[in-house]
Chain A
Amino acid sequence: MENSEVLVELVDVTKNFGSTKVLKGINLQIKSNEFVTLLGPSGCGKTTTLRIIGGFEYPTTGKVIFEGKDITDLPPYQRSTNTVFQSYALFPHMDVFDNIAFGLYIDKKAVSLPYPETDLTFFEKLKAKRFNAKLEKYNNQTREPASIKDMEAKARKIVQEKHSSLSQAKQEELYNSILTSIKEEEKKWVESKPARPFTKAEIKTKVESVIKLVNLTGMEHRNVSHLSGGQRQRVAIARAIVLRPKMLLLDESLSALDLKLRKEMQYELKELQKSTGITFVFVTHDQEEALTMSDKIVVMKDGYIEQIGTAEEIYNEPVNRYVANFIGDSNIIKGEIIDPKHVKFAGKTFLVPNIKFAVDQTVDVMLRPEDLDIVYPSKGKLLGVVDSIFFKGVFYEVDVRLSEGSIVTIHTTDYIPVGKDVGISFDTEDITLMEEME
Chain B
Amino acid sequence: MAFHVQNVKKQKTRSNFTFNASIGGAIPLLLLLTLLVLLPFVFIFIYAITNKGESNYIYLTFDNFAQFITEPNFLRSAGMSIYFAFIATLICLVIGYPVAYFIGRSKASLRNILVMLITIPMWINMLLRILAWKQIFELFEKWMNVEIIGTDFAILFGMAYDLLPFMIIPIYTSVMKIDPSLYEASKDLGANPIKTFFKVTIPLSMPGIISGITMVFLPAATTLVVTEKLGGGKSRYFLIGNIIESYFIRQTNPYVGSAIALILSVIIFLVIFLLNRLDRTVVRDRELTTSVKKRRKA
Partner-contacting stretch, out of B100-108, B179-187, B226-234: B179-187
A87–B178 alpha-carbon span in the complex (Å)? 13
Taking a contact as CB atoms closer than 8 A, the residue among B191, B204, B285 that contacts A77 in the complex is B191
Taking a contact as CB atoms under 8 Å apart, the answer to whether B190 and A223 are in contact is no
Taking a contact as CB atoms under 8 Å apart, the answer to whether B190 and A243 are in contact is yes
Chain A nearest CB from B12 CB (Å) reads 28
Partner-contacting stretch, out of B26-34, B70-78, B195-203, B266-274: B195-203
Beta-carbon nearest neighbor of A103 in chain B:
B189
Interface check A91, CB cutoff 8 A? yes
A226–B181 alpha-carbon span in the complex (Å)? 19
Taking a contact as CB atoms under 8 Å apart, the answer to whether A92 and B286 are in contact is yes
Interface check A82, CB cutoff 8 A? yes
Give the interface size class of chain B.
Answer: 20 to 34
Taking a contact as CB atoms under 8 Å apart, the answer to whether A91 and B187 are in contact is no
Give the interface size class of chain A.
Answer: 20 to 34
Q: Quick one: given A91-B182, A92-B204, A106-B195, are A83 and B188 in contact (CB under 8 Å)?
A: yes
A55–B192 alpha-carbon span in the complex (Å)? 13
B283: A residues at CB distance < 8 A:
93
A-B pair number, CB within 8 angstroms: 74
Taking a contact as CB atoms under 8 Å apart, the answer to whether B289 and A77 are in contact is no
Taking a contact as CB atoms closer than 8 A, the residue among B190, B284, B286, B290 that contacts A107 in the complex is B190
Taking a contact as CB atoms closer than 8 A, the residue among B184, B189, B191 that contacts A56 in the complex is B184
Q: Quick one: given A92-B286, A223-B285, are A77 and B182 in contact (CB under 8 Å)?
A: no
Q: Quick one: given A87-B181, A91-B182, A226-B289, are A106 and B199 in contact (CB under 8 Å)?
A: yes
A75–B284 alpha-carbon span in the complex (Å)? 31
B186: A residues at CB distance < 8 A:
91, 102
Chain B nearest CB from A50 CB (Å) reads 12
A59–B200 alpha-carbon span in the complex (Å)? 27
Interface check A368, CB cutoff 8 A? no
Taking a contact as CB atoms closer than 8 A, the residue among A56, A87, A106 that contacts B190 in the complex is A106
A304: B residues at CB distance < 8 A:
none
Taking a contact as CB atoms under 8 Å apart, the answer to whether B185 and A77 are in contact is no
Beta-carbon nearest neighbor of B195 in chain A:
A106
A76: B residues at CB distance < 8 A:
184, 187-188
A420–B195 alpha-carbon span in the complex (Å)? 72
Interface check A225, CB cutoff 8 A? yes
A75–B179 alpha-carbon span in the complex (Å)? 20
A218–B131 alpha-carbon span in the complex (Å)? 63
A54: B residues at CB distance < 8 A:
188
Beta-carbon nearest neighbor of A90 in chain B:
B185
A85: B residues at CB distance < 8 A:
181, 184-185
Taking a contact as CB atoms under 8 Å apart, the answer to whether A102 and B189 are in contact is yes
A103: B residues at CB distance < 8 A:
189-191
Residue among B188, B200, B204, B290 with the highest chain A CB neighbour number at 10 A = B188
A66-87 residues with Cβ-Cβ distance < 8 A to B are 75-77, 81-83, 85, 87
A224–B204 alpha-carbon span in the complex (Å)? 14
Chain B nearest CB from A285 CB (Å) reads 19
Interface check A89, CB cutoff 8 A? yes
B145-185 residues with Cβ-Cβ distance < 8 A to A are 179, 181-182, 184-185
Taking a contact as CB atoms under 8 Å apart, the answer to whether B200 and A91 are in contact is yes
Chain A nearest CB from B296 CB (Å) reads 13
A77: B residues at CB distance < 8 A:
187-192
Interface check A31, CB cutoff 8 A? no
Interface check A239, CB cutoff 8 A? yes
B203: A residues at CB distance < 8 A:
93
Taking a contact as CB atoms under 8 Å apart, the answer to whether B189 and A82 are in contact is yes
A240–B189 alpha-carbon span in the complex (Å)? 7
Taking a contact as CB atoms under 8 Å apart, the answer to whether B190 and A89 are in contact is no
Taking a contact as CB atoms under 8 Å apart, the answer to whether A223 and B289 are in contact is yes
A223–B286 alpha-carbon span in the complex (Å)? 8
A102–B191 alpha-carbon span in the complex (Å)? 9
A103–B289 alpha-carbon span in the complex (Å)? 26
Taking a contact as CB atoms under 8 Å apart, the answer to whether A106 and B204 are in contact is no
Taking a contact as CB atoms under 8 Å apart, the answer to whether B289 and A93 are in contact is no
Q: B residues touching A (Cβ–Cβ < 8 Å)?
A: 179, 181-182, 184-192, 195, 199-200, 203-204, 283-286, 289-290
Q: A residues touching B (Cβ–Cβ < 8 Å)?
A: 54-56, 75-77, 81-83, 85, 87, 89-93, 95, 102-103, 106-107, 223, 225-226, 239-240, 243
Closest 3 CB pairs of A and B: A103-B189, A89-B185, A89-B181
**A82-B189, A102-B189 given; 14 more Cβ-contact pairs under 8 Å:** A55-B188, A77-B191, A77-B192, A83-B184, A85-B181, A85-B184, A89-B179, A92-B204, A93-B203, A93-B204, A93-B286, A106-B191, A223-B284, A223-B285
